[in-house]
């Protein structure tokens, strides 16, 4: 009930913000990207394609906002800003003379009416899997919230290979909206012939980007050229160290993301007796039912698991880790080190030649929440410091 009251408040805020800034989304083609996994990469990919094709375009994502070359931080743990700063950014994009704005849009932002009043030219849903059920209660409610992205869109683009497809197709059938679908296993409206090797889960992100660009009339050769030069956003499958062993960071924080990411790491980087050392946790005040599922997925592919904090907030970090550990199978070796810095140091210290240390959950984020305090945090710096410590210990011995 309290959340519903808050949502009404946010709706009025959004309508006022739209009015104050002159309903800017009606003066630009807003492309909204939502989904459980892959939305940040897809958002940045579409932005890169359009920019490479010479289009005037800006972006608002969980990593940053870039309005006409002006880079802005979008805040701690925030993907879609509140209505007033969001409308201000859209207005700035219009003032900049942009033709397009790429907007990463979360289910929370949709449900809380932070994006109310925004006119989307294209709405994209990458996938809908197990996440945020603490907030949405059931998968169907989560899916229905996501589908509201299309309420004020001209065009819908959905993944025909995802479990959400049939549900979304039924919902969209009732709306007056042009529907396109993309996929590799089932019917697709797009013929994708990109030859560069990319990870399996990123193939869907690339295809989504290709599909949007095709809908917008971008020439295939320009799209493929842009795809070839695309660099993943910070904290997405990012290699921080690559000498005797690899250290990779990724924002993956759902069972589905683990299911896609970890086998790709094994296939792409590990040989023979090389080990995958996985360091991760689960955020507090989020869907607790996914915790053992994350443990299960990690244990299917990782050789050694270190469970640690990930924005534990008011919840006990050790308790969270034990709930994750309840899902670990296959007699895998694991331990709990609640201090994330020490967990990373441990993982890097035990890594051998050819191993991969995979750190998931934080990615690009710049803070670590303990209690009510946001402590400065950088996964990059934690890795660099851990490598320096390993070197000192090796030298001393």
DSSP secondary structure code for residue 232 in this structure: P
One domain, residues 224 and 249: no
One domain, residues 139 and 51: yes
Q: Is the pLDDT of residue 134 over 70?
A: no
One domain, residues 221 and 263: no
Q: Give exposure, 119-148, as e/b (b: 16+ Cβ within 10 Å).
A: bbbbbbbbbbbbbbbebbeebeebbbbbbb
One domain, residues 224 and 254: no
Encoded tokens for 242: 């690559």
One domain, residues 104 and 166: yes
One domain, residues 271 and 380: yes
Last residue of a domain, one of 229, 260, 289: 229
Ramachandran bin of 34, using left for φ above 0, alpha for ψ from -120 to 50, beta for the remaining angles? beta
Q: Is the pLDDT of residue 1 over 80?
A: no
Q: What is the pLDDT of residues 316-352, one digit of tens each?
A: 999 999 999 999 998 899 999 999 999 999 999 999 9
One domain, residues 222 and 280: no
One domain, residues 223 and 243: no
One domain, residues 80 and 129: yes
Task: Name the percent of the chain lying above pLDDT 90.
Answer: 81
pLDDT mean across residues, the chain: 92
pLDDT category of residue 210 using cuts at 50, 70 and 90: very high
Q: d(Cα 263, Cα 129) in Å, to the nearest integer?
A: 18
One domain, residues 93 and 211: yes
Query: Quick one: average pLDDT of 143-162?
Result: 95
Residue numbers of the domain that contains 325: 238-396
One domain, residues 263 and 280: yes
CATH number of the domain residue 271 falls in: 3.90.190.20
Last residue of a domain, one of 163, 198, 229: 229
Identify whether the C-beta of residue 7 lies closer than 8 Å to the C-beta of residue 111: yes
- Three-state SS for 298? helix
One domain, residues 290 and 208: no
Lowest mean pLDDT of 54-58, 112-116, 139-143, 378-382, name the range: 139-143
Last residue of a domain, one of 180, 211, 229: 229
CATH number of the domain residue 51 falls in: 3.40.1190.10
- How many domains does the chain fold into? 2
Q: d(Cα 293, Cα 11) in Å, to the nearest integer?
A: 35
Predicted pLDDT of residue 75: 64
CA distances (Å), origin 227, targets 25, 78, 192, 198, 205 = 27, 27, 12, 10, 11
Q: What is the pLDDT of residues 249-289, one digit of tens each?
A: 999 999 989 999 999 999 999 998 999 999 999 999 777 88
What is the C-alpha R_g of the chain?
Answer: 21
- Three-state SS for 347? helix
């Amino acid at each position: 009930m309290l959340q519903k009251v808050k949502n009404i408040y946010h709706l009025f805020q959004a309508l006022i913000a739209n009015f104050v800034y002159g309903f800017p989304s009606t003066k630009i083609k807003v492309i909204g990207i939502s989904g459980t996994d892959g939305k940040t990469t897809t958002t940045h990919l579409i932005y890169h394609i359009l920019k490479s094709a010479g289009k005037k375009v800006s972006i608002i994502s969980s990593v940053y906002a870039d309005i006409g070359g002006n880079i802005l931080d979008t805040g701690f743990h925030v993907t879609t800003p509140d209505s007033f700063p969001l409308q201000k950014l859209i207005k700035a994009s219009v003032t900049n003379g942009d033709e397009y704005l790429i907007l990463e849009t979360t289910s929370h932002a949709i449900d809380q009416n932070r994006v109310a009043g925004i006119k989307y030219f294209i709405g994209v849903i990458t996938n809908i899997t197990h996440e945020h059920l603490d907030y949405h209660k059931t998968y169907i409610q989560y899916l229905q919230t996501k589908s509201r992205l299309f309420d004020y869109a001209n065009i819908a683009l959905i993944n025909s290979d995802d479990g959400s497809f049939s549900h979304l197709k039924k919902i969209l059938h009732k709306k007056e909206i042009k529907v396109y679908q993309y996929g590799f296993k089932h019917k697709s409206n797009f013929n994708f012939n990109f030859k560069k090797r990319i990870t399996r889960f990123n193939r869907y992100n690339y295809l989504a980007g290709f599909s949007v660009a095709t809908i917008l009339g971008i020439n295939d050769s320009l799209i493929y050229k842009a795809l070839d030069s695309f660099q993943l956003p910070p904290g997405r499958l990012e290699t921080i160290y690559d000498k005797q062993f690899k250290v990779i960071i990724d924002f993956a924080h759902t069972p589905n993301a683990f299911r896609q990411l970890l086998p790709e790491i094994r296939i792409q980087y590990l040989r023979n007796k090389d080990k995958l050392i996985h360091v991760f946790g689960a955020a507090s005040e989020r869907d607790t039912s996914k915790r053992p599922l994350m443990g299960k997925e990690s244990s299917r592919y990782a050789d050694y698991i270190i469970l640690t904090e990930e924005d534990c907030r008011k919840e006990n970090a050790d308790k969270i880790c034990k709930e994750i550990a309840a899902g670990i199978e296959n007699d895998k070796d694991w331990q709990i080190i609640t201090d994330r810095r020490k967990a990373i140091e441990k993982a890097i210290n035990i890594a051998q030649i050819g191993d991969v240390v995979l750190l998931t959950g934080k990615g690009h984020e710049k803070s670590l929440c303990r209690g009510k305090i946001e402590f400065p945090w950088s996964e990059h710096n934690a890795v660099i410091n851990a490598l320096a410590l390993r070197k000192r210990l090796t030298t001393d011995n």
